[in-house]
Amino acid sequence: MPVKKLPDDNGTTLTVVDLDGYYLPILYELKDQEEEIRSLPNWKVRTDDVMICTYPKSGTHWLWEIVKMLVQKKAERIQTVKETAMLEMIAQEACDKIPSPRVLNSHVYFEYLPKDFVKGKCKIVYAMRNPKDVAVSFFHHHSNIIKYDFSGKWGDYVTRFLKGNVDYGSWFEYTRKWEKVMADNPDYPILATTFEDMKEDALREVTRIAKFLEVDCDQAFLQEVTDLCHFDKMKKEKNALEEQVDGWKDGKPGMYRKGDVGDWKNWFTVAHSEHFNSVYREKMKGSKVQPRFTLC
């Protein structure tokens, strides 16, 4: 896949790779990134696989940690990071070596996922986060990781995000695709949650996920998992592991930043917000999706 530098309106670029118009981050970990990505739909899955699907910066690390603990039935810190089970970041051979039950994750569009997921009806946990907070978090992600070679300004980034000129494409397209997948496949085992719901009542959502996964456990275990996966605790204990995955500009991992709902208010001007709202109404016209931009 060719490396592409996506410019904003002022010419500042963000470095990605281009898969037939679909942008992905450069993955130096893969010997042949294009071959692996193109082969993804044909990867074999197992009936006990659990798949976590999210747009970037939507609480994937948090959710993966929770699901891993539930599936393993152990309220213990997971001593690895989600990237080791992220479909687009590992080779098929490495994926095949992950012991069952596997908790996999991905940010790619549904059509890039292994077709066996549909045939085998493997369980999928889908999480959404409001796009304003996603935009702020993605801006910091792009600004702090070396391989993106990005030094753009926030004001220009808002427009970039709205246009989908980032890796993994448009939040709007990703969200609408998943809305359609769930509407067209009502019998498929997909549990939908949101970052905001998890922040509002983590124990409630952990309990929902455990029930969906058919994990036989008591309330005390669910509370232990919830406590271990509190954002501040995870930030402290997991950041050291994240250092092994990406090169950070300041040498400090930044995958866990604030984990708040409504941080966008500290970044969006009135003009930014009004423009964002206008584009949102246009892009999501007819959609039943209703993100929560605050918890108040």
pLDDT for position 248: 67
Asked whether the beta carbons of 156 and 13 are under 8 A apart, the reply is no
CA angle 174, 43, 214 (to 5 degrees): 70
Considering 61, 107, 140, 141, which one is annotated as catalytic? Answer: 107
Confidence of residue 255 (pLDDT cuts 50, 70, 90): low
Residue 250, pLDDT above cutoff 90: no
Give the pLDDT confidence of 168-180 residue by residue, as tens digits: 999 999 999 999 9
Give the pLDDT confidence of 7-55 residue by residue, as tens digits: 999 999 999 999 999 999 998 778 899 999 999 999 999 999 999 999 9
Residue 256, pLDDT above cutoff 80: no
Give the pLDDT confidence of 90-109 residue by residue, as tens digits: 999 999 999 999 999 999 99
Confidence of residue 116 (pLDDT cuts 50, 70, 90): confident
pTM for the predicted model, two decimal places: 0.93
How many Å apart are CA 40 and CA 51, to the nearest integer? 14
The end-to-end CA distance of the chain, in Å, is 44
Residue whose token pair is 């427009």:
159
Give the pLDDT confidence of 126-135 residue by residue, as tens digits: 999 999 999 9
Catalytic: 107? yes
Give the pLDDT confidence of 183-198 residue by residue, as tens digits: 999 999 999 999 999 9
pLDDT for position 289: 97
Residue ranges covered by each domain of the chain: 3-283
pLDDT for position 204: 97
Residue 246, pLDDT above cutoff 60: no
pLDDT for position 231: 77
pLDDT averaged over every residue in the chain: 92
How many Å apart are CA 50 and CA 135, to the nearest integer? 27
How many Å apart are CA 131 and CA 268, to the nearest integer? 12
Q: How many CB atoms lie within 10 A of CB 8?
A: 20
Tell me which of 3.30.70.141, 3.20.20.80, 3.40.630.30, 3.40.50.300 is the CATH number of domain 3-283: 3.40.50.300
